Amino acid sequence: MTPKTLFRKIWDRHVVTQQPDSPAVLYVDLHLVHEVTSPQAFSGLRARNLKVRRPDKTVATIDHGVPTRTEDGSKNGRLAFADEMSLRQIRQMEENCAEFGIRLYGLESENQGIVHVIGPELGFTQPGMTIVCGDSHTATHGAFGALAFGIGSSEVEHVLATQCLLQWQPKTCAVNIEGRLSPGVTSKDVILALIRQIGVGGGVGYVFEYRGPAVQVMTMEERMTLCNMTIEAGARAGLIAPDENTFDYLYGREFSPKGEQWERSIAHWKKLATDEGATFDHEITLKVSDLEPMVTFGTNPAMSIPIGGRIPDPDAADDEAQKSGLRKALDYMGLTPGQSLADHPVDVVFIGSCTNGRISDLRLAASLLRGRKVSPKTRLLVVPGSNQVKRQAEAEGLDRVFKDAGAEWREAGCSMCIAMNGDQLEPGEYAVSTSNRNFEGRQGKGGRTFLASPLTAAAAAIAGKITDPRPFMQS
C-alpha cells in the first residue's frame, strides 16, 4: 500500500463522491455552530424549506457576543449585553436551535463556552474526524488529529442541509518543530515564531502537519494553541498525529467513546499517524531551542519579535509592498523602527480566547500573579474559555489569585479577542493579549494589540509594561 499522510487518510475516508472537473464532496462528522456566522444560513434553509440533515452531528454554542459580566456586577444580575442587536442575535440562535432541533450550549448551560474550547473538553472533538465551523479558528481541533477548518456562512448552510461540503483537495506541508523549549517559552511563542518565519500568507493552499520532538512533548492544550493560530499563517488546517497524550485527554469525557467502543476507537486512532515514507508537498523546519518569548509589534500576527529584540526598519525590508506594510503598521501602532518593546506601557492586559483561555493558560498566568499586584496603570481582564474552565479555576482558587492581584475575573466567552460583546479597547489604548489577532481595530476601534503568551501577558500586567516574564518565574 502507498504510504499516506495523516491528512490523506482522513480525507480519503470522507470523500462521498467526486465527479470529473468538480470538487470532492466531503462528509462532515462534526459541525460546530455559533451565533454570529449562522443566522443567514438558517434563513437560507427556511427559504428553501430544508431541514438540518444531521442534528446529531451538529453542536451549537453562544460565544462571540456573550456578555462576560452582569450590569450591576452581582452574581445573578442581568447580563450586560453590548446592545439590542447583540441580544437579538443571541435570541435568534436560541430560536434557530429550537426550531431545527440542534443541541445548544446556551447562556444558561453549565457547559457554555468558546466553541473551540467546549468541543474538545466535552469530547465531541475526536481523532480522524472532519470538523467544520463558521469560524477560522476551527483549526484548533487539528490538535487531536482531526481535519478541522473554518468555513463561510454559505458553507454552514450547505453542511446544515447536506452534512457535506464541496472541497478541492489542499496540498500538504510538514512543519517540523525541532529542539526543546526552554522554561518560560510556550507553544504560543512557537506559533508566533512560525508565522513570523513564513508570513501571514505562507500557508495558503496547504494543510499543515505539525511534527517533531517539541510537538511530541506538548500537552493537548499546548497543541491546541499551536493549531489554533495555523490560520494566521494562511493554512486552513493544522494537524497533529494522535498519541497517548490525545487518548489520555479524551478518556472519560462526556461524549468520548465508552467501554468496548473506546477500545475500538483507540485501535483506529493509532493507525492515523502519517506512514513512514509518505511524502508531503512541502516541508518547513522551525528550530525552537533558542526561542525566546515572542511579542507582536505590528498589525498582523507575522509582525513579531523576540522579547529582547528590536522593531525592524521598514527601509530594510525586501520589497516596496513590505516596506509600506511595515510603515503603515508602525504608524498605526505608534512605534518607531529600532525601538525595543521592553518597557512599553500597557493599558490593558487580556488573558483568554480560544488560543489561550484554557485551564493550563490560567494556571500559567496565576503562577506569576500569585502574591503580586496588577500595576495601578494597567487593567487586567481574565476571561475563561468556558464555564468548565471557570469552575475548574475556581476549584483551584485561581479566581482568588486573580482577584487578589486586582484583576477582573469574568464569565466565559470570546470577549476582547473580537470585541463584539462590549469588552473592548478604547481608541489609542495598548493591550497585551493572549488572543490570536492584532489586526487594526480587532480589539476595539483604534485599539492597539501586542500578542503574547499567558506568561508574558501576566508579567505585563504586574509591571504595567511589556517585560520578559522569565525573571518573575524564579522568585
Partner 1 sequence: MNQFTILKSRAVVLPVDNIDTDQIIPARFLKVTDKIGLGEKLFSDWRYLPDGSANPDFVLNKPESQGAAILVAGDNFGCGSSREHAPWALAGFGFRALISTSFADIFRNNALKNGLLPVVVGADSYRKLIKKLESEPQTELTIDLPEQTLHVPGEASIHFSIDAFSKTCLLNGVDELGYLLGLEDQISAYEKNL
Nearer to partner 1 (CB atom), residue 295 or residue 420: 420
Q: How far is the CB of 54 from partner 1 (least distance, A)?
A: 8
Q: How far is the CB of 298 from partner 1 (least distance, A)?
A: 10
Q: Are 139 and 237 in contact (CB under 8 A)?
A: yes
Nearer to partner 1 (CB atom), residue 148 or residue 374: 148
Q: How far is the CB of 74 from partner 1 (least distance, A)?
A: 26
Nearer to partner 1 (CB atom), residue 324 or residue 339: 324
The three cell numbers of residue 28 are 462532515
Nearer to partner 1 (CB atom), residue 66 or residue 215: 66
Q: How far is the CB of 425 from partner 1 (least distance, A)?
A: 12
What is each CA distance from 287 to 13, 129, 213, 322, in whole angstroms? 33, 30, 10, 25
CB neighbours of residue 345 within 10 Å? 13
Q: How far is the CB of 364 from partner 1 (least distance, A)?
A: 26
Q: How far is the CB of 100 from partner 1 (least distance, A)?
A: 15
Burial status of residue 392 (CB atoms within 10 A of its CB: 0-12, 13-18, 19 or more): middle
Q: How far apart are CA 466 and CA 460, in angstroms?
A: 5
Q: How far is CA 6 from the centre of its chain?
A: 21
Q: How far apart are CA 144 and CA 325, in angstroms?
A: 35
Q: How far is the CB of 163 from partner 1 (least distance, A)?
A: 7
Q: Which residues contact 6 (CB under 8 A, 6 or more apart)?
A: 145, 209, 239, 241, 272, 273, 274
Helix, strand, coil abundance in the chain, percent, nearest 5? 40, 20, 45
H-helix or E-strand containing 165?
strand 164-167
Nearer to partner 1 (CB atom), residue 321 or residue 475: 321
Phi, psi of 15, deg, nearest 5: -80, 115
Nearer to partner 1 (CB atom), residue 151 or residue 224: 151
Q: How far apart are CA 176 and CA 3, in angstroms?
A: 19
Sheet of 15-17, strands arranged across: 15-17, 24-27, 164-167
Q: How far is the CB of 109 from partner 1 (least distance, A)?
A: 21
Q: How far is the CB of 56 from partner 1 (least distance, A)?
A: 11
Q: How far is the CB of 421 from partner 1 (least distance, A)?
A: 10
Nearer to partner 1 (CB atom), residue 357 or residue 444: 444
Residues lying near partner 1 in the complex (CB under 8 A)? 16-17, 21-23, 25, 27, 36-37, 39-40, 43-44, 48, 50, 64-65, 82-83, 85-86, 88-89, 92, 134-136, 149-155, 157-158, 161-164, 166, 168, 170, 200-201, 204-205, 231-232, 234, 236, 300, 321-322, 324-325, 328, 418-420, 427, 437, 439-442, 445-446
Q: How far is CA 256 from the centre of its chain?
A: 22
Burial status of residue 320 (CB atoms within 10 A of its CB: 0-12, 13-18, 19 or more): exposed
Nearer to partner 1 (CB atom), residue 202 or residue 242: 202
Nearer to partner 1 (CB atom), residue 251 or residue 439: 439
Q: How far apart are CA 209 and CA 237, in angstroms?
A: 8
Phi, psi of 10, deg, nearest 5: -70, -45
Nearer to partner 1 (CB atom), residue 271 or residue 373: 271
